[in-house]
Each structure stands twice: as structure tokens, then as C-alpha cells.
Amino acid sequence: MKVRFWGTRGSIPVSVTAPDIRAKLLAALAGAVGRSLDTPEKIADYVDRQLGFETSGTFGGHSSCVELTGDDASHVILDMGSGARPLGQHLLEKYGPDAPRTYHVFMSHLHWDHIMGFPFFGPVYVPGNRIVIHGCHAGIEEAFRRQQAEPSFPVDFSQLAADVEFRRLTPGESYAIAGLRVTPKLQLHAGDSFGYRLEAGGKCVVYSTDSEHRLDNREEREGFIEFFGGADLVIFDAMYSLFEAISVKADWGHSSNIVGVELCQAARAKTLALFHHEPAFDDTRVASVLQETRRFEEITRDGHQLEVIAAYDGLELEV
Amino acid sequence: MELETRRVGDSIVVSPRGRVDHATADAFSAALATHVAQCASGGPAIVLDMSGVDYISSVGLRALMVAAKQVKAQSGRIVIAALTPMVREVFQISRFHLVFALFDEVDAALESLQKPA
């Protein structure tokens, strides 16, 4: 499976600002002082290898959207946040307007930041395309139709050219969809959210965002350890610090890097991708959280080494 | 979990030992509860001597948070001393260093409690 992140930011899309760009330029130029950067190759090496990603790149600002592609060329999309817009553009450029395809979408929940990209997802305007939206919420179709009704959007849902279907899933049951074994799981979030365990060819990706973890609930913890069990990649809502998640932001429906590491360690998962980044954090803060999380994994390691990464818009992983 | 305790002036030094993790956090909370209940205005302040704790998990940190909230509601005082290097890092990464006053040594913690809050 190939996993590509199109939106990794939590709650609301954000953008790199002019002061952010200026700070990156100042840091890059300060770091270049005294270096012999007199060829394009040396400059590229400096940017790609010497500068940190928080300076040379950005974690991006689109809200949740992740693409999975498997061996059978079917397309699976996890959530329809604002990252669905560049994903749709990419798909239209890749396949053109005359090659109808089927897309399977799995929705964690129906909050705005997870559905807002749908009206901007280009393939919905291409006749012949089939878009199957899977989810566990009773009101899933209504949520998608409502955001395109007047006065919220100029194009009504009924005007979409593609064939859009909605399929209700039951948490805890496994389904064979698009060449994958897909198992949804109920998570703690306002109005409920659902994680997905997606398996194919002996590989496993778990998508678990917008999920709060009650630390005093042993049964819940064991359920998530089983859900994450042996996963090659766990995409995990690590929006807050542990302190915030269980104090001032308790009941806000999100989790922390600490709990992500602990659950993945117990589940013997291979890679933890920090996801749903706090929108108030700039690239330096997200990079700092990543560095701290890697250190936490290192000092709490119990014989199983967990790789920790921070997802960013544009990141591609082969699982 | 057994907690060693000793009275020093108007304070009580509480010393847990070992790991505070998902297996021991409930016992840790239960053992701490008696002291926390007495940690009110006019009662003994608590110095939590963490020198014997070599690991603390999220659920252990939650137990400390619950204790801190209760003590605050009772107008008592609780501080933490002598974190091992590993546990100190966990406090910083989890941002729990923002929850408690931290002291390198128990004596320094006791001294701080002699001053008005």
C-alpha cells in the first residue's frame, strides 16, 4: 500500500504566513554563512540535507485527508478535509476527464474540518466517476448535502456530475472493500468518531484521528492496543500535550503524542505518524513536538523500537 | 503500592518506589489518597519525593493530576522533588512541569513550603 497525506492539520486549515517565510529565509541564510554554496548542487544539498524540515519545508496546513492506493489501483480516501482539493486536482491531472474511476471514502466523522474539501474535490464534477462514501454515522448523507445547500455553497449536491453513494458501516465488523479488509472502531469524540484498520497483503494501516483517550479506562486502552496491534503504520491524533489533553482541553476529543507512543508500543506497531497537528503551531513547534516524541519513545522503549514521524501534506509512505 | 512517609514539620514527605504505570497506577492513587485527603488548608503539605520512581506512564501522570486538583480544591499544597532524570524528561515532554512546582531535592521542596503560597 502507498499512503499519501494531503491534509494533516487539525480542526481548521492554516497557511504559512509572510512572517513564517521570512523567518525561514533568515534561518536558512544565517546557516549558509561560511559555507561554500557556489554550485546548484551544493545549494540543493544544503537545503535538502543540512537545513531542518521546519526551515526547508512545511508540515502544511490542509485539514484531514489521506490517500491509500493498493495493488488493484483502486483509490481509498480517508476523510474529506481541505486536503481533498489538491488530491482531486492530482487525480484529474493523473487520469484526465475521460477515464471514469471509483473512489472509496472512509469518514472518521462529520465535523466541518473533515468534510469541507468534498465540494472542491474535482472528481465529483466528472460524469461517470463513482464515489462511495463509507461511514458509521447515521447522518452522513445529510451532512454532505447540507454543506452544499444554500447559503453555504453555490453548487448544490444534486448538481454533482459523479455518482455519489453512501454506505453505512457498523463498528467492529470487517468489510472487504477496494481490495482491503476494513474494520471501523468507535472512538471518543463529540458526536462520535470512528477509526479504521485497513489491511491488505499482510500490511496494515490504522487511521485513528479525532479520538480522545480516557486514561482511567482500562478496557478502552486494551481495545485500542488490539485495534493498533502489529500495524505497520498508525496515523494518530496527537494534537495536544498530555497535560492539555487531560486538563484544560479534556473532553475536547483529541489525544497526545505521549498516549500515541504508549499505545503503539503496547501494540507493537512499527510506525507512529503524528497527525491532526495543532493549527496554532508553526513548523518549528510541530518539529519540536516530533523531536520530543522521538525522545519519549527512546527513553520509554521496552525492547520494541517504534519509528515516530510527523505527517505532513505531501508525505508519501510505502507500507 | 506502599508509600514511605515521614513527617517533617508541617509537611509530610511521601516517597513512592518503582514504576508508576498502567499496572500500578490504581494502587499508587489509593495509597496517595489518604495523604491527599488531609492536605487541606491548615493540614500538612505534601512533598512527593520521586527519587525512587524510575518510570511513570500517562496514567501515572493522570493520578498526579487528580491529586493536584483535589489538593488545590482543598486549598492545600503539594510539590514534587527529586525526579530521576528520565522521569524529569517525561514531565517536560508531557508538559507536567507546568502542573507542579518541581525541586531538585526534598530539602529545597520543604523549605519552599515554609514560605506563603
Residue with cell 508531557: B94
| Cβ count within 10 A of residue B101 | 14
Return the CATH number at B81: 3.30.750.24
Q: Which of A80-84, A92-96, A190-194 has the lowest mean pLDDT?
A: A92-96
- pTM (two decimals): 0.96
Mutate to test the interface with B, among A214, A215, A221, A292 (most CBs of B within 10 A): A215
Cα radius of gyration (chain B): 13
A79 is written with which cell numbers? 476523510
Is the pLDDT score of A153 beyond 80?
Answer: yes
Q: Cis link prior to A151 (omega < 30° from 0)?
A: yes
Is the pLDDT score of A15 beyond 90?
Answer: yes
Q: Can you tell me the mean pLDDT for A48-56? A: 96
Confidence of residue B117 (pLDDT cuts 50, 70, 90): low
At the top level of CATH, the class of A2-15+58-318 is alpha beta
Confidence of residue A99 (pLDDT cuts 50, 70, 90): confident
Confidence of residue A284 (pLDDT cuts 50, 70, 90): very high
Give the residue from B117, B109, B115 showing the smallest Cα distance to B8: B109
Q: What is the per-residue pLDDT across A203-236, written as a single tens digit (0 to 9) for each?
A: 999 999 999 999 989 999 999 999 999 999 999 9
Q: What is the per-residue pLDDT across B86-104, written as a single tens digit (0 to 9) for each?
A: 999 999 999 999 999 999 9
Q: Can you tell me the mean pLDDT for A38-51? A: 97
* Residue among B59, B89, B96 minimizing CB distance to A243: B96
Q: Looking at CA atoms only, how far is residue B94 from chain A in angstroms?
A: 5
Alpha carbon A90 to its chain centroid, in Å, reads: 17
Confidence of residue A146 (pLDDT cuts 50, 70, 90): very high
* Residue among A218, A258, A262 minimizing CB distance to B93: A258
Reported ipTM: 0.94
Q: Could you tell me if B27 lies within 8 Å of chain A, comparing CB atoms?
A: no
Mutate to test the interface with A, among B86, B95, B97, B102 (most CBs of A within 10 A): B95
pLDDT of residue A118: 98
Is the pLDDT score of A252 beyond 80?
Answer: yes
Is the pLDDT score of A291 beyond 70?
Answer: yes
Mutate to test the interface with A, among B19, B29, B59, B93 (most CBs of A within 10 A): B93
Q: Can you tell me the mean pLDDT for A6-15? A: 98
**Mean pLDDT of chain A, nearest integer:** 96
In chain A, pLDDT over 70 holds for what percent of residues?
99
Inter-chain touch B58–A293, beta carbons under 8 Å? no
Domain residue ranges of chain A, discontinuous segments joined by +:
2-15+58-318, 18-56
| Contact (Cβ atoms closer than 8 angstroms) between residue A276 and residue A239 | yes
Distance CA A129, CA A164 (A): 8
Residues from chain A contacting residue B57 (CB–CB below 8 Å):
262, 300
* Contact residues for B84 (Cβ-Cβ < 8 A; gap 6+): B50, B51, B53, B54
Distance CA A285, CA A209 (A): 20
Q: For B96, name the nearest residue in chain A, comparing CA atoms only.
A: A243
* Residue among A243, A257, A299 minimizing CB distance to B99: A243
Is the pLDDT score of A14 beyond 70?
Answer: yes
Confidence of residue A73 (pLDDT cuts 50, 70, 90): low
Q: Domain tally for chain B?
A: 1
Q: What DSSP assignment string belongs to A275-298?
A: ESB-TT--HHHHHHHHHHHHHHHH
Distance CA A228, CA A250 (A): 23
What is the domain range of residue B90? 4-113
Inter-chain touch A241–B95, beta carbons under 8 Å? yes
* Residue among A243, A257, A262 minimizing CB distance to B98: A243
pLDDT of residue A311: 98
Distance CA A239, CA A221 (A): 18
Confidence of residue A96 (pLDDT cuts 50, 70, 90): confident
* Residue among A246, A262, A292 minimizing CB distance to B65: A246
Residues from chain B contacting residue A300 (CB–CB below 8 Å):
55, 57, 90
Distance CA A15, CA B116 (A): 46
Give the residue from A185, A163, A198 showing the smallest Cα distance to A68: A198
Inter-chain touch B94–A243, beta carbons under 8 Å? yes
Confidence of residue B115 (pLDDT cuts 50, 70, 90): confident
Q: Looking at CA atoms only, how far is residue B95 from chain A in angstroms?
A: 6
Q: What is the per-residue pLDDT across A111-122, written as a single tens digit (0 to 9) for each?
A: 999 999 999 999
Confidence of residue B1 (pLDDT cuts 50, 70, 90): confident
